[in-house]
Amino acid sequence: LAKTTQPISMDSYEGQEVNITCSHNNIATNDYITWYQQFPSQGPRFIIQGYKTKVTNEVASLFIPADRKSSTLSLPRVSLSDTAVYYCLVGDSGMIYNQGGKLIFGQGTELSVKP
């Protein structure tokens, strides 16, 4: 069961790059790594997903080392509107049906962006 660990909180300033690291030492071969963003009083929103190496989209980049035991979400040039809780999720929902696998959300990292 791939449990995840993230920093509880981080502070940053507008325009800076923010890197949030998630540890998942027991990640399984079929597990994907997914990051979600959650604003107050809203449901989590998908940001990015990867399996290995680096993935980039219009919002963020995701760096995954070769051993896949951790991953880093990188937010370029954050703004005040990036203030939110960021969750790291590790799992393979495809395994759930057959082997009772689970989708585990980390505790979340509360990012505060200041002017």
Partner 1 sequence: DTAVSQTPKYLVTQMGNDKSIKCEQNLGHDTMYWYKQDSKKFLKIMFSYNNKELIINETVPNRFSPKSPDKAHLNLHINSLELGDSAVYFCASSQDLAGGTSQFFGPGTRLTVL
**Residues 84 and 37: beta-carbon distance below 8 Å:** yes
What is the residue-wise DSSP string for 34-86? EEEEE-TTS--EEEEEESSEEEE-SS-EEEE-TT-SEEEEEESS--GGG-EEE
Determine, following the binding rule CB under 8 A, whether residue 99 of this chain makes contact with partner 1: no
Q: How far is the CB of 12 from partner 1 (least distance, A)?
A: 19
- Which of residues 22, 27, 44, 70 is near partner 1 by CB under 8 A? 44
Return the amino acid letter for 3. K
Determine, following the binding rule CB under 8 A, whether residue 55 of this chain makes contact with partner 1: no
Q: How far is the CB of 102 from partner 1 (least distance, A)?
A: 7
Residues lying near partner 1 in the complex (CB under 8 A) are found at 30, 32, 34, 36, 41-46, 49, 51, 85, 87, 92-97, 102-103, 105, 107-108, 110
